[in-house]
Chains A and B, each alone.
Chain A
Amino acid sequence: MRWVLPDYLRDELPPAAEHLERLRRDLLDLFRLHGYQLVAPPLIEFLSSLIVGGEEDLRLRTFGLTDQLSGQTMGVRADITPQVARIDAHLLNRRGVTRLCYCGPVLHTLPASLTATREPLQLGAELYGHGGVEADIEIIRLLATALERARLPAVRIDVGHMGLFRALTEGMDHERAEALFELLQAKDSAGIENFLATTGAEIDEARAVSLCALPGLYGGIEVLSLARSRLAPLPAVVRALEELEALAETLADLPLGFDLADLRGYHYHTGVMFAAYGANHPSALALGGRYDGLGAAFGRARPATGFSIDLRELIARLPLAPLPGAILAPAVDDEALEAVVAQLREAGQAVVRELPGHPLEEWREAGCDRRLVQRAGQWVVEPL
């Protein structure tokens, strides 16, 4: 059983591997045209720089190993975003706006969902140096364009705001805020009420009422006005709602929804967050959001926002067209034939050079659907 792969790992075969690569190039080209510069951080680095702050979730997902050279613990990245934040904060060190993009494999010790691979191909774009909602708007629009380019348009982009949760749990100890966060992700209203009732006291009435209201605040744009009336008007709450309102207005042409309790993704997020859904798919296609301050771990706090997509997941959901077949060129030594082969390749056609001793049937199996034959002194392409 040597051919068996470990659970949640897969080979990509033709034509999926080819489609995956084309999609990668397409999307990176798209990002380049929007001014996002490509970076390529290493697959493994010291664990202490991959996991900054108390990212328990990310730590659990990261494979670790010992570096024989330094004796330190290294991790195989489970997320590229912190690496890109390190590059922006510490290496590029630019003062103004920096737009970066990347694409590379990451490894997860545990699959992110029941159907996920443990080796996603993470593609993403990150915008540093602008704290205003304009940056969030640009990133969400770029995500929508990217999904359209992949021919898997988002039918819904759900937006939330980490600032609400942060404001409502300010001063609460980490462990309790974490428990509350989990309940909120499950929209477990009964659990939240019970949690606040049994371990309350540390939180004032207005915040408790607001926290209980959060799980119900999802739906269309009407959610924002509902939130205005149901959430305590703390300055940070009002600021967050104003950002969401500005965003809703500017992105009115996108299928936006709002879910003020949905804060999936990693805990480094601080502001506007979003998840894009495709038609008929039980989970999100892409996640993203604002994570101001992650750069502080690398010496320089920077406003930051971005998104990432697992290209393997995307490819798995796309109907894959068969790739055009190749043209078989006979194994003869002929200058005219060489010229024709060169022309065809120049025009983007795959030409396969025949090797002696193999029947035509095998060449068909190898992906050839046409061949070059000599007719009246001319080399012409005919069906195989």
Chain B
Amino acid sequence: MERITLALSKGRIFTETLPLLAAAGIVPQDDPETSRRLILETNRPEVRLLIVRATDVPTYVQYGAADLGIAGRDVLLEHGGQGLYQPLDLRIARCRLCVAVPEGFDYAAAVRLGSRIRVATKYLKTAKAHFAAKGVHVDLIKLYGSMELAPLVGLADAIVDLVSSGNTLRANRLVEVEEIMPISSRLIVNQAALKLKHALVQPVIDTFAETLHDQPDA
């Protein structure tokens, strides 16, 4: 039997993808929050889900280990997206990629043309491109988490990170000074899978597209 595999991360992306999957008649047999299984079977024997880390989703799909995936735009930009189709913006797991600095920091002065700024982030490519476009030299410090700490302890002048409610920033007395781009999750598809498993893959894309079309653009 020919099967298709969808890779996605647990948490917000998984929860917000469930209604789309339901519209396509796909219901996972397990809940990744309670189950430790990494491969989830669904009510449809030809469809299964892979639970992977968000940053690994494009890699699984690019290698063909998964035919489809759901990945944030932030992750795709860092990955580069080579060899992937990105047919749909699913408009889920929305947030924004921002620059934030400690309260009282003079950001406008720090990013005058030709100046130099030290930035902590896990989004190296995106941050570099953003500051390069402004004509600002940037010293990037790659961190894997708790970005908010870096400016507080003098590791960096600013951070580039995802912001959704802004609560973590406020709790650490940081302020958002610039939005780099809005973020939402994309459906990504392996190039060969779209062609070779067209009969299985295309209906999923079409149903997702119809479901999104019927939703008001919040």
Chain A: residues with CB nearer than 8 A to chain B?
Answer: 113-115, 155-156, 158, 186-191, 215, 218-219, 257, 259, 262, 277, 279-284
Contact = CB atoms under 8 A, between A and B. Distances in A.
A113 B83 contact: yes
A155 B84 contact: no
Interface band, chain B: 20 to 34
A281 B84 contact: no
Nearest to A182: B81
A186 B62 CA distance: 12
Contacts of A188: 86-87
A115 B195 contact: no
B192 A219 contact: no
Contacts of A282: 62-64, 190-193
Most buried by A among B82, B192, B196: B192
B61 to A, nearest CB: 9
Contacts of B87: 187-189, 215
B117 interface: no
A208 B174 CA distance: 42
A187 B196 contact: no
20 contacts: A115-B63, A158-B195, A186-B81, A186-B84, A186-B86, A187-B85, A187-B86, A187-B87, A187-B189, A188-B86, A188-B87, A189-B88, A218-B195, A219-B198, A277-B192, A280-B196, A282-B192, A283-B64, A283-B83, A284-B192
Nearest to B189: A187
Interface in B3-49: none
Given A156-B195, A283-B191, A114 B81 contact: no
A282 B128 CA distance: 31
A-B complex: 6 closest residue pairs judged by Cβ atoms:
A282-B64, A190-B89, A187-B85, A188-B86, A186-B86, A187-B87
A218 B83 CA distance: 16
A257 B191 CA distance: 13
A282 B69 CA distance: 14
A56 B89 CA distance: 29
A190 B88 contact: yes
Contacts, number: 55
A156 B88 CA distance: 24
B63 A114 contact: yes
A257 B190 contact: no
Interface of B: 59, 62-64, 81-89, 189-196, 198, 202
A279 B196 CA distance: 8
- Where chain A touches its partner, the secondary structure class is loop
A174 to B, nearest CB: 19
A283 B85 contact: no
B62 A114 contact: yes
Which of A188, A215, A277, A280 has the most CB atoms of chain B within a 10 A radius of its CB? Answer: A188
Contacts of A281: 64, 192
Contacts of A279: 196
Given A114-B62, A188-B86, A189-B87, 5 more contacts: A114-B63, A156-B195, A215-B87, A218-B194, A282-B191
Contacts of A262: 191
A187 B59 CA distance: 18
Contacts of B202: 219
A113 B198 CA distance: 22
Given A114-B63, A115-B63, A282-B64, A259 B83 contact: no
Nearest to B191: A283
Contacts of A277: 192, 195-196
A357 to B, nearest CB: 50
A178 to B, nearest CB: 15
A187 B198 CA distance: 15
A31 to B, nearest CB: 26
A281 B195 CA distance: 11
Contacts of B83: 113, 283
A190 B183 CA distance: 13
A56 B164 CA distance: 37
Contacts of B82: 113
Contacts of B63: 114-115, 282
A372 B101 CA distance: 83
A225 B13 CA distance: 38
B78 to A, nearest CB: 15
A62 B85 CA distance: 26
Nearest to A219: B198
Contacts of A190: 88-89
Interface core residue of A187, A191, A219 (most chain B CB under 10 Å): A187
B144 to A, nearest CB: 22
Contact of B85 (A155, A186, A280): A186
B198 to A, nearest CB: 7
Given A186-B81, A191-B86, A215-B87, A257 B195 contact: yes
